[in-house]
Amino acid sequence: MLALALVVAPLAAHAQTDEIQVYDASIMAPGKASVMVHSNFTPIGRKTADFPGGIIPDDSVNGAVEWAYGVRPWFEQGLYLPVFTAYSENRGGSIDGFKVRELFVRPNADKHTFFYGINFEFSVNYSYWESRRVTSEARPIVGAHLHKVDLIYNPIVDTNYRGGFNGLEFVPAGRVAYNLNPNWTVGAEEYADFGQFRDFYDAHNQFHEVWAVVDHHTRFVDIETGVGVGVTAGADKVTFKLMVSHDLN
């Protein structure tokens, strides 16, 4: 699958996002399932769509319902169904598609100082969500747990199955977090879109957002919320996210 992802490529565009998250290689235990609802609100965003007929980011609410199932200690199967827009200026509410993912990790990543993994996502999109019907993502995961501090990097590449290696789009994400106690974590995240490897956007037009985030763990749900601020012209200026997950068994 990695080889497939590396020989095909996307058109250059800052894609819509249903999931704003840095992966830390944590997965469900074998036989266990969970559901997570992703919700993202962009009160001050880009005023035009990324492609003709696309959803306008400004004032939009996007998200997904993510279903996860632990298959092996090193493998989790996931499904995003549906990917949705609760509201957008030009389309109102809409169902935007679905995604299937396969996540492979070092088992019990949270118990190791150094951890790693890779996630593959395969998306089927409506024409107003992405410019191509089928798109995919390869997301390597590397990180370290250093006492109460977590350092995580996801050097993500996206593809829409057109072009070659140099056309892959580089959209990395990173996170530095401090665990206050077992139930509360605060952190800083950064999400970027540099464009295609063959021709990165100039710095002014790249997508760069910096985030302040808080995680809270309870017996019944896990919550992650945060606010992101765009620091380049190619980014949305303000975005909020809320992720709520619940173990199903």
pLDDT digits (tens, 9 = 90+) for 72-89: 999 999 999 999 999 999
Residue pair 155/170 in contact (Cβ under 8 Å)? The answer is yes
H helical segments located in the chain: 2-6
- How does DSSP classify residue 56? P
**pLDDT tens per residue across span 136-146:** 999 999 999 99
159 beta partners = 136
CATH superfamily to which 2-247 belongs: monomeric porin ompg (2.40.160.40)
Q: Contact 38/66 with Cβ under 8 angstroms? A: yes
Main-chain phi, psi angles of 203, to 5 degrees:
-55, -35
- Under 8 Å between Cβ of 191 and 209: yes
Residues 6+ apart with CB under 8 A from 76: 27, 28, 68, 69, 70, 102, 103, 105
221 with 247: CB under 8 angstroms? no
Query: Residue holding tokens 């309870």?
Result: 218
Whole-angstrom Cα distance, residue 99 to residue 94? 16
pLDDT band at 167 (very low <50, low <70, confident <90, very high): confident
**Sequence letter at residue 131:** S
Pinpoint the alpha helices (H) of 55-189: none
> What is the per-residue pLDDT for 5?
37
Average pLDDT, the chain: 94
Structure confidence at residue 14 (pLDDT): 56
DSSP state for residue 165 in the 8-state scheme: G
For residue range 218-227, what is the model confidence (pLDDT) as tens digits?
999 999 999 9
